[in-house]
């Protein structure tokens, strides 16, 4: 046996003995004051808890791991007890773990944290993250999952609602520990900013900057995406007047000349422009098929003002669509996004092989598939063959009832 485990055993024995003796003397009396208000009482009365009057002890019993995290955190050490954050512990009921996971993150609101961490709160409040809750509005992929709530929770809300409503999107609910070097290089952002549709983590981790950060500690995600004044105010890139460019350039200039940084960002812009051009071309090919009656939009499609299915961030889907629309999804949501996000993070392999190469292959497949569909339509017309509806369209009509209301 290792000396450490022996030490623990001795410790445990002492604790058990102490608890036994204490149990003998105090009996099973019900406490009057909540242990929440009195930390030392908790220490002494762990055996005597009843769930009704002692949340701390109860928590220790039912979730010892999480209890320990809190106890050893800066909060546990500094007297930030349960009721400080869980203001509505009136009935002495613990918040349900399940509710939190299901996206009802309003047990403890960021406003509660703000009482002691005003600056972090002010920064957080100004970010795009806080608006992320709107993601489900008029999003075809979200609504195609209307009959599949488990996937809506695990596959959408765990990123989107969490980041919009909690500080624990990047922090851990009952621990205040921040990731330690070298794991702090991606700051916790990597939970969400990864994968085929937004591979910022993978791109950054394969860039020269990551190598630099491993050696020196910087740049991390927040080095480039926030200012020194407030590390919580991640500035917006899309949809703002200068796309956050002024602030971004200022950050580059801590380490590079302005000329070099501007040139690097000009290359990013060029790649973004060319990628979007190819995406547009592909979109036009498919819209041409709708217009000529060769491809029938899925009844679930979100339509633009011209009655055309929107083949964009809201409107592309991987399910309930035909083969060519599925290729469009891959081109737009994966390959195109990867080329742009790879370039933005100076990751040659993501910009090119995972990005541009894949983009072109999907584009050519879409072109070929469109020609094939046109030829097929001509032959069918000549031979007088009725076109049968795609099976997935029928499926969509059965399950996607609510989708009709979106238009
Ligand atoms: C610094 C604030 C803070 C303190 C102190 C705190 N909690 Fe929490 N607790 C939270 C947050 C934030 C959540 C997540 C809820 C949400 O996002 O709506 C949470 C969630 C919970 C949950 C739901 C399951 C889980 O663990 O995620 C339980 C149970 C819980 N807290 C019990 C306690 C108990 C018991 C104590 C005291 C030992 C305590 N909390 C102290 C902030 C706090
Ligand atoms: C009653 C005041 C209070 C509330 C409410 C509170 N905290 Fe704290 N927090 C503290 C104190 C005190 C510390 C320890 C500060 C120190 O060591 O300098 C701390 C430390 C932290 C740290 C670690 C800082 C570090 O440098 O290691 C994090 C992260 C944190 N709190 C997040 C939160 C979050 C998230 C919430 C809301 C769920 C919250 N806090 C609510 C008082 C509070
Ligand atoms: C792993 C976490 C994660 C999951 C799961 C996830 N998203 Fe996202 N989503 C993100 C991130 C991160 C962005 C921002 C990407 C960027 O700006 O590079 C985003 C962006 C979006 C956007 C574009 C937002 C805009 O207007 O710019 C939409 C729409 C969207 N997601 C919808 C969904 C839907 C619907 C689901 C579930 C079917 C989903 N997402 C699942 C993390 C996630
Ligand atoms: C998008 C991710 C993210 C979110 C959301 C977030 N934080 Fe943080 N937080 C961080 C990172 C990263 C650090 C470490 C900062 C550093 O290394 O300078 C940090 C550090 C902190 C600290 C330690 C003090 C400091 O600035 O170093 C506190 C306190 C804190 N956060 C509170 C909060 C509160 C309160 C909220 C919600 C209002 C919140 N955080 C939301 C990422 C986040
Ligand atoms: C060396 C600086 C740098 C680092 C480090 C960095 N980024 Fe970026 N990021 C950029 C630049 C530059 C852009 C594009 C800015 C522009 O177009 O003006 C960008 C864009 C983004 C965008 C917006 C995507 C879009 O489509 O507009 C997100 C989200 C993002 N980065 C997240 C991250 C995450 C997460 C990390 C860490 C894993 C990270 N970044 C690390 C420089 C950086
Ligand atoms: C829990 C998931 C989650 C975490 C963790 C997270 N993000 Fe995000 N982030 C999102 C989602 C979702 C969006 C898209 C919001 C939208 O457009 O509706 C987003 C959007 C962004 C954008 C805005 C892109 C733009 O210009 O529109 C930036 C920049 C960004 N995140 C950077 C970061 C950084 C840096 C971190 C870590 C410090 C981080 N995020 C942590 C989920 C997350
Ligand atoms: C904390 C310092 C730091 C910050 C901030 C920073 N960089 Fe860098 N960057 C470096 C270092 C160091 C290198 C490696 C140079 C070398 O090998 O000598 C590098 C390399 C690069 C490269 C070359 C990549 C390659 O594959 O060779 C580009 C392009 C670049 N940075 C652009 C930027 C831009 C644009 C920004 C701002 C958005 C930025 N950097 C922010 C330190 C930084």
DSSP for 385-404 reads PPPPPPHHHHHHHHH-HHHH
Centre of ligand 5 from the C-alpha of residue 102, in Å? 29
* The pLDDT value given to residue 98: 75
Residue 53 pLDDT exceeds 60: no
Smallest CA-to-CA distance from 165 within 84, 96, 86, 111 is with: 111
User: What is the best residue among 138, 173, 189, 245 to mutate for testing ligand 6's pocket, by most ligand atoms within 8 Å of CB?
Assistant: 189
End-to-end CA distance of the chain: 68
Q: In whole angstroms, give the CA distance from residue 269 to residue 339.
A: 11
Is ligand 1 within 6 A of the CB of residue 58? Answer: no
Is ligand 7 within 6 A of the CB of residue 248? Answer: yes
| Position 44 confidence tier, pLDDT thresholds 50, 70, 90 | very low
| Position 92 confidence tier, pLDDT thresholds 50, 70, 90 | low
Contact (CB, 8 A) for 337 and 343: no
The protein residue with its alpha carbon nearest to ligand 5, atom 39, reads: 221
Q: What is the mean pLDDT of residues 356-381?
A: 97
Centre of ligand 4 from the C-alpha of residue 184, in Å? 12
Residue 336 pLDDT exceeds 50: yes
Residue 55 pLDDT exceeds 70: yes
* The pLDDT value given to residue 321: 86
Centre of ligand 3 from the C-alpha of residue 192, in Å? 9
Fold exhibited by the domain 267-407: Hydroxylamine Oxidoreductase; Chain A, domain 2 (1.20.850)
Residue 401 pLDDT exceeds 70: no
The protein residue with its alpha carbon nearest to ligand 1, atom 2, reads: 85
The protein residue with its alpha carbon nearest to ligand 3, atom 30, reads: 135
* The pLDDT value given to residue 354: 98
200: three-class secondary structure by DSSP = helix
Given the CA of residue 254, which atom of ligand 7 is nearest to it?
A: 5
Is ligand 5 within 6 A of the CB of residue 345? Answer: yes
Q: Model's pTM, two decimal places?
A: 0.90
Q: What is the mean pLDDT of residues 113-136?
A: 90
* The pLDDT value given to residue 207: 98
Q: Cα 358 from chain centroid? A: 24
Residue 371 pLDDT exceeds 70: yes
The pair of three-digit structure tokens given for residue 385, joined into one six-digit string: 């063959």
User: What is the best residue among 209, 211, 224, 261 to mutate for testing ligand 7's pocket, by most ligand atoms within 8 Å of CB?
Assistant: 209
Is ligand 6 within 6 A of the CB of residue 163? Answer: yes
* The pLDDT value given to residue 372: 97
* The pLDDT value given to residue 231: 95
* The pLDDT value given to residue 40: 36
Each residue's pLDDT tens digit, 178-231: 988 888 999 999 999 999 999 999 999 999 999 999 999 999 999 999 999 999
Residue 3 pLDDT exceeds 90: no
319: three-class secondary structure by DSSP = coil
Given the CA of residue 244, which atom of ligand 6 is nearest to it?
A: 26
- Residue predicted with more confidence, 51 or 255: 255
165: exposed, middle or buried (C-beta count within 10 Å: 0-12, 13-18, 19+)?
buried
* The pLDDT value given to residue 91: 59
**Three-point CA angle 109, 115, 118, nearest 5°:** 95
- Give percent above pLDDT 90 in the chain: 53
The protein residue with its alpha carbon nearest to ligand 3, atom 6, reads: 156
Contact (CB, 8 A) for 384 and 116: no
Residue 31 pLDDT exceeds 50: no
The protein residue with its alpha carbon nearest to ligand 4, atom 30, reads: 120
Centre of ligand 6 from the C-alpha of residue 289, in Å? 35
Q: What is the mean pLDDT of residues 38-52?
A: 36
Given the CA of residue 341, which atom of ligand 3 is nearest to it?
A: 18
In the structure, which protein residues have their CB atom closer than 6 angstroms to any atom of ligand 3?
Answer: 135, 139, 141-142, 155-156, 159-160, 192-193, 195, 198, 313-314, 341
Residue 303 backbone phi and psi in degrees, to 5: -105, 145
Each residue's pLDDT tens digit, 266-284: 999 999 999 999 999 999 9
Residue 95 pLDDT exceeds 80: no
Given the CA of residue 261, which atom of ligand 7 is nearest to it?
A: 35
* The pLDDT value given to residue 182: 85
Query: What does pLDDT average to over the chain?
Result: 82
The protein residue with its alpha carbon nearest to ligand 6, atom 26, reads: 237
Each residue's pLDDT tens digit, 139-169: 888 888 887 888 988 999 889 988 988 999 9
Centre of ligand 5 from the C-alpha of residue 382, in Å? 53
User: What are the residue ranges spanned by the domains of the chain?
Assistant: 19-94, 96-177, 178-255, 267-407
Centre of ligand 1 from the C-alpha of residue 315, in Å? 37
- Residue predicted with more confidence, 285 or 240: 285
């Amino acid at each position: 046996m290792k000396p450490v485990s022996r030490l623990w055993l001795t410790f445990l024995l002492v604790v058990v003995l102490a608890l036994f003796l204490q149990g003998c003397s105090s009996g099973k009396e019900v406490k009057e004051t909540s242990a929440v208000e009195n930390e030392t009482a908790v220490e002494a009365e762990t055996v005597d808890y009843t769930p009704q009057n002692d949340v701390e002890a109860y928590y220790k019993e039912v979730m010892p791991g999480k209890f320990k995290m809190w106890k050893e955190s800066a909060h546990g050490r500094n007297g930030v007890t349960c009721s400080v954050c869980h203001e509505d512990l009136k009935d002495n009921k613990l918040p349900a773990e399940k509710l939190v996971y299901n996206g009802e993150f309003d047990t403890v609101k960021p406003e509660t944290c703000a009482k002691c961490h005003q600056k972090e709160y002010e920064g957080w409040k100004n970010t795009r993250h806080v608006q992320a809750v709107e993601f489900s509005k008029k999003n075809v992929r979200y609504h195609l999952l209307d009959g599949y709530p488990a996937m809506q929770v695990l596959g959408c809300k765990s990123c989107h609602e969490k980041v919009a409503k909690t500080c624990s999107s990047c922090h851990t609910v009952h621990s205040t520990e921040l990731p330690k070097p070298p794991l702090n290089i991606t700051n916790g952002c990597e939970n969400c900013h990864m994968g085929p549709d937004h591979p910022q983590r993978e791109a950054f981790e394969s860039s020269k900057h990551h190598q630099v950060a491993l050696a020196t500690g910087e740049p991390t995600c927040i080095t480039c995406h926030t200012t020194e004044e407030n590390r919580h105010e991640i500035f917006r890139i899309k949809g703002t007047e200068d796309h956050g460019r002024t602030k971004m350039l200022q950050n580059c200039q801590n380490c590079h000349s302005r000329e070099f940084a501007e040139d690097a960002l000009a290359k990013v812009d060029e790649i973004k422009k060319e990628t979007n051009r190819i995406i547009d071309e592909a979109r036009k090919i498919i819209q041409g098929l709708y217009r000529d009656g060769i491809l029938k939009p899925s009844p679930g499609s979100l339509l633009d003002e011209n009655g055309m299915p929107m083949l964009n961030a809201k409107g592309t889907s991987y399910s309930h669509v035909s083969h060519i629309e599925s290729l469009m999804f891959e081109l737009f949501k994966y390959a195109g996004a990867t080329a742009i996000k790879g370039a933005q993070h100076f990751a040659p392999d993501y910009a090119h092989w995972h990005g541009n190469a894949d983009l072109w292959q999907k584009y050519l497949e879409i072109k070929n598939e469109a020609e094939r569909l046109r030829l097929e339509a001509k032959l069918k017309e000549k031979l007088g063959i009725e076109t049968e509806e795609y099976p997935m369209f029928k499926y969509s009509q059965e399950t996607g009832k609510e989708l009709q209301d979106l238009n």
